[in-house]
Structure 1
Amino acid sequence: METTTNIKIIYSEDCGNNYRNKLIREFYIAFTKKNIDFILDHVENDVHWQIVDIAFILGKEQFTKRIKQHMENVRIKTLHIKNIVINGRTSAVNGIVQSVENKNYSFCDIYHFSNAGKHAKIQRISSYINNFSMEVTNVCYH
């Protein structure tokens, strides 16, 4: 767990042997820190991002525009990364975000990398987001 700029970030420590696990975790932390450069350095120019039932973003230019909008609009109080699962070129992540307005959002993101190599970039993202639509005052993370 770490705290950055009044944002609490919770995640399980791993053995440190999996570079992809660390990259995915750092990708989320970069979002909370509004580090757009880190995020853009790790996506392909022709990145596809599907926010299921909301939007389909194609290409780095549109991706940059949308991720900046999210960074401006989402005020995160707590980020809890529950699981990161990796299988070859594909990674899946799920967790919960609590906003400063005390609303919870659960998420599951599926990442497809350009290849299985150590320096592969993110080629496609499928994001599933669920707004709990309720105020949360006491959240138990486990």
Structure 2
Amino acid sequence: MRTSSTTDFLRDFNDAFFKGKKDFIEQHVSDDVEWIMVGTMPLKGRQALVDAAFGMQDYTQMAFEVDTIIAAGQEGAVKGVMTAKGGNDRERKYCYCDFYEWQGDGELQITKMTSFVVETK
């Protein structure tokens, strides 16, 4: 797969994650996908990822902006900013960087995600 197509895929995957497109996410992660959110216990498996992303920690309630996408070979990264309303309607802003590993040449499937999230002031 060409790098530009891969960066488009990563942009689409990130967009689906934040816009609640659960079917897209389910279709593009492997059965045994691993999601490491640095500082928490890793999640293993498609259902665990979907439950975390679209369950209690609903990322679809956050505004987001992608700053940078890098892809090479079977790995890539997306860096951006997400914003959520906190208690007392206080806006909370987070910088994030997700590192991805995938398999496949045509229809890519994410096999591993490592997420770093830091709240900014």
The two structures have a TM-score, normalised by structure 1, of 0.73
Q: How many residues align?
A: 116
Cα gap change, 1:106/1:122 in structure 2, threshold over 3 Å: closer, same or farther? same
Give the Cα separation in 2 of the matches to 1:73 and 1:52: 17
How far residue 57 of structure 1 moved from its aligned partner, in angstroms, is 0.3
Give the Cα separation in 1 of the matches to 2:6 and 2:38: 24
After superposing on structure 2, the runs of 4+ consecutive aligned residues of structure 1 that deviate more than 4 Å are: none
How far residue 76 of structure 1 moved from its aligned partner, in angstroms, is 1.3
Indicate the percent of aligned positions where both proteins have the same amino acid.
Answer: 22
Give the Cα separation in 2 of the matches to 1:88 and 1:105: 28
Alignment of 1:94 with 2:55, yes or no, is no
Q: Which among 109, 117, 120 is matched to residue 129 of structure 1?
A: 117
Cα gap change, 1:126/1:70 in structure 2, threshold over 3 Å: closer, same or farther? farther
> 8 Å contact 1:74–1:99 — kept in the other structure?
no
- Structure showing greater Rg: 1
**Where in structure 1 are there 5+ consecutive unaligned residues?**
1-15, 135-142
Letter in 2 for 1:119: E
> Residues 96-130 of structure 1, C-alpha deviation per residue, up to 9 Å, x if partnerless?
11124421100010000124x13221000000000
Specify the alignment match of 1:120 in structure 2.
108
**Where in structure 2 are there 5+ consecutive unaligned residues?**
none
RMSD, aligned CA: 2.0
